[in-house]
Chains A and B, each alone.
Chain A
Amino acid sequence: MLFSLATLLLLSQLLVLAGYAANLLAFPFDYDQGEGYELEAVRYLSQFQLPYQDVDRFPYYGSHYPPLFHIVLVPFHWAFGPAYWYGRALSLACVLLTALAIAYAVGKESGHRSIATLAGLAFLASNTVYHQAPLFRHHTLMVLLETLAVVLLATAPGDLRKVPTRRLLWCSTLVIAAGFAKPLAIFTALAISAYLILRAPQRAWRWILGSALAGAAIFVGFLWLSEGEWWRQIIIANANSPSILHGWRLARLWLRVHGWLIAPALLLVGFEWYFSRISLYSLWFVCTAFFSAISSGGWGAGDNYYMTAIAATCILSGIFAARILQQQWRFPQNAYGRLIHRLAPLARSLRQPLFLLPAVLYLGYALAVLHHPTDTPGFRELAQLLGHEANVLPERPFYDGARTSLGHYPPGYSNIGHFTTEEDVRAGWLIVDWLRQTAGPVISEDAGFAIRAEKSVITHAPFLWNLAERDHFDSSALIAQLAAREFSAIVLRAPFFPADVEAAIFAHYEEVAEIPLNGFRYRILEPRVS
């Protein structure tokens, strides 16, 4: 009964994800800030140019992400031109494949198909995974490649010292590829290195050295091809100092929302530490959770940094649950095991309640992560039954269990997940039409409007801000162009421009319209007449 309820709730979250994905696949503009800049990077690569341009010169565009995600999308750009749907579809496919890999890992380890299925569904039901799944962004590709690398190595049969070299090479290739989707994959590389050192130290050093050399060779290649811009854009622009307070708040949110599965994952880690061999999944969980907690509080970072740790959590908690149901917990006669054996009579009396534990954990998790529309038939009744009221952006009928009833959330938690509307699409085309009617170049803080208006993408606001913060952006040329009123229109959302650029914008341009779209106010500015 409890298992059926948990499965039903997790399946309902899959349904919400399907609706969200369908909604975004049809949405022709930026949904999450920055998607359009990624599409622009695909355009550069489709013309055999690197997106790592000299940002001090017109069009002041660059990218702070490695190019794997963009490269995969180049054939789609050739076939369909600039569009969001294929990047969002790729991202969704990555998330679904990651869930399958999680289910496979749990099934392979435990042989328990129902729990394996629940583990995969639990990953898809996470608020963080849900938010990121259908976005035109890199993160999901990195998580998929990391998960495949870990599962490939963890499921290697027999002694790791005798595992075929081909499997290690595949593992290495997947980790390096993940790193060139997003550099956060370094944490997974650390976990795999630690695992190899524990189990097969001699092979470990060869693997670490070989992988590091291969990754470094590709890195130097990009450095050379981009004439040094790669260093400024991938390393310097991403070197944000993490805020401990923001990191702490996000860690608390992660614990609160995913705690039902984190607790069993931690218990399994503890069991392996004292009573068994330490698995790759445990090392992966500890490494990614620890480093996510440290790095997620930085500017531009956020709860999505926990996505890899969530994958590891789902695998470990699945194995934990399966072992309970299959009565596979065995404590060896070591120094601590003898203490546990003294508790055997107590454990026998708790056997029946313990069998309920997996169902309770998954049900508790499903209720904690719950997110759904509050106006759609079926979910409306669920919202009434559970007393959920819409708590996302104003006037959006959507409930997100990770937020407070007033819609509050810690800085860095993605303020997305709601569905877009017909009005949003109409408002987007209104902005595009406005830009089309202007004669000269335009700056749009959400690049999608410029792309739809068949104008060049000029600037990459948050990226320039990042560089300016580290004194690595010379804004003089851009400010001179702004002062000369060379741009016929500017579309602002946040704005995220460096302070001196923002000051120049407001000194030489005036607001002529304000268009609400997707919960934000887009301001259109035109050159001042005076």
Chain B
Amino acid sequence: MMTKRQLGKLCAGIGLLAALVILALDVLFPGREGGFGPGQITALLVSIALFLLGMSLLPLGDDPA
């Protein structure tokens, strides 16, 4: 059974990783067309939201998720 803290860490980790990958896309693939477009911005916002939601679960400790 997963706890709120474990779930929080998981969500925050996924959100952070996704945000870094999205930001790094243009560095990793400099030839990509379109630049930092609306799709990337939306995905970045979702990733940040997931990170924050995950972080907000950390104070809840071992409560069951």
Q: A residues engaging B (CB < 8 A)?
A: 161, 197-201, 244-245, 273-274, 277-278, 332, 334-336
A194 to B: closest C-beta gap in Å? 10
Contact call A335/B1, Cβ cutoff below 8 A:
no
B65 at the A interface (CB under 8 A)? yes
B44 to A: closest C-beta gap in Å? 13
**CB < 8 Å: which of A198, A200, A273, A277 contacts B53?**
A273
Give chain B residues whose Cβ lies under 8 Å from the Cβ of A161: 1
Known pairs A273-B53, A335-B60; A197 contacts B38 (CB<8 A) = no
Give chain A residues whose Cβ lies under 8 Å from the Cβ of B59: 334-336
The residue on B at minimum CB distance from A161 is: B1
The residue on B at minimum CB distance from A241 is: B39
Proximity string of chain B (1-39) to chain A, C-beta cutoff 8 Å, 1 when within and 0 when not:
110000100000000000000000000000000000011
Contact call B39/A277, Cβ cutoff below 8 A:
no
Give chain B residues whose Cβ lies under 8 Å from the Cβ of A278: 7, 65
Known pairs A244-B38, A244-B39, A273-B53; A198 contacts B7 (CB<8 A) = yes
Give chain A residues whose Cβ lies under 8 Å from the Cβ of B53: 273
A–B complex contacts, Cβ < 8 Å, 9 sampled:
A198-B1, A198-B7, A199-B2, A244-B38, A277-B65, A278-B65, A334-B61, A334-B63, A336-B60
The residue on A at minimum CB distance from B7 is: A198
B54 to A: closest C-beta gap in Å? 10
Contact call B38/A198, Cβ cutoff below 8 A:
no
**CB < 8 Å: which of B38, B57, B64 contacts A277?**
B64
Known pairs A244-B42, A334-B63; A200 contacts B1 (CB<8 A) = yes
Give chain A residues whose Cβ lies under 8 Å from the Cβ of B61: 334
Give chain B residues whose Cβ lies under 8 Å from the Cβ of A199: 1-2
Q: B residues engaging A (CB < 8 A)?
A: 1-2, 7, 38-39, 42, 53, 56-57, 59-61, 63-65
A463 to B: closest C-beta gap in Å? 26
- Taking A278-B65, A332-B63 as known contacts, 19 extra A-B pairs with beta carbons closer than 8 A to each other, sorted by chain A number, are A197-B2, A198-B1, A198-B2, A199-B1, A199-B2, A201-B1, A244-B39, A273-B53, A274-B56, A274-B57, A277-B65, A334-B59, A334-B60, A334-B61, A334-B63, A335-B59, A335-B60, A336-B59, A336-B60
Contact call A201/B2, Cβ cutoff below 8 A:
yes
The residue on A at minimum CB distance from B42 is: A244
The residue on B at minimum CB distance from A278 is: B65
The residue on A at minimum CB distance from B46 is: A290
B47 to A: closest C-beta gap in Å? 13
B49 to A: closest C-beta gap in Å? 11
Known pairs A197-B2, A198-B2; A273 contacts B42 (CB<8 A) = no
Q: How far is the CA of A278 from the CA of B60 in the complex (A)?
A: 13
Contact call B64/A274, Cβ cutoff below 8 A:
no
Q: How far is the CA of A519 from the CA of B1 in the complex (A)?
A: 56
Contact call B57/A273, Cβ cutoff below 8 A:
yes
Q: How far is the CA of A245 from the CA of B38 in the complex (A)?
A: 9
Q: How far is the CA of A171 from the CA of B47 in the complex (A)?
A: 30
Indicate the member of B42, B59, B60, B61 with the most A CB atoms within 10 Å.
B60
Identify the 7 closest CB pairs spanning chains A and B, nearest first: A335-B59, A198-B2, A244-B38, A198-B65, A334-B60, A244-B39, A277-B64
Give chain B residues whose Cβ lies under 8 Å from the Cβ of A334: 59-61, 63
Q: How far is the CA of A336 from the CA of B2 in the complex (A)?
A: 19
Q: How far is the CA of A197 from the CA of B10 in the complex (A)?
A: 12
A289 to B: closest C-beta gap in Å? 12
The residue on B at minimum CB distance from A272 is: B65
Give chain B residues whose Cβ lies under 8 Å from the Cβ of A336: 59-60
The residue on B at minimum CB distance from A270 is: B53
The residue on B at minimum CB distance from A290 is: B46
Q: How far is the CA of A274 from the CA of B53 in the complex (A)?
A: 10
The residue on B at minimum CB distance from A293 is: B42
Give chain A residues whose Cβ lies under 8 Å from the Cβ of B56: 274
Q: How far is the CA of A335 from the CA of B58 in the complex (A)?
A: 10
A198 to B: closest C-beta gap in Å? 5
B61 to A: closest C-beta gap in Å? 8
Q: How far is the CA of A244 from the CA of B39 in the complex (A)?
A: 7
B3 to A: closest C-beta gap in Å? 10
Q: How far is the CA of A197 from the CA of B38 in the complex (A)?
A: 32
Q: How far is the CA of A336 from the CA of B8 in the complex (A)?
A: 15
The residue on A at minimum CB distance from B10 is: A197
A164 to B: closest C-beta gap in Å? 19
Q: How far is the CA of A273 from the CA of B39 in the complex (A)?
A: 27
The residue on A at minimum CB distance from B58 is: A335
The residue on B at minimum CB distance from A337 is: B60
The residue on B at minimum CB distance from A277 is: B64
Give chain A residues whose Cβ lies under 8 Å from the Cβ of B65: 198, 277-278
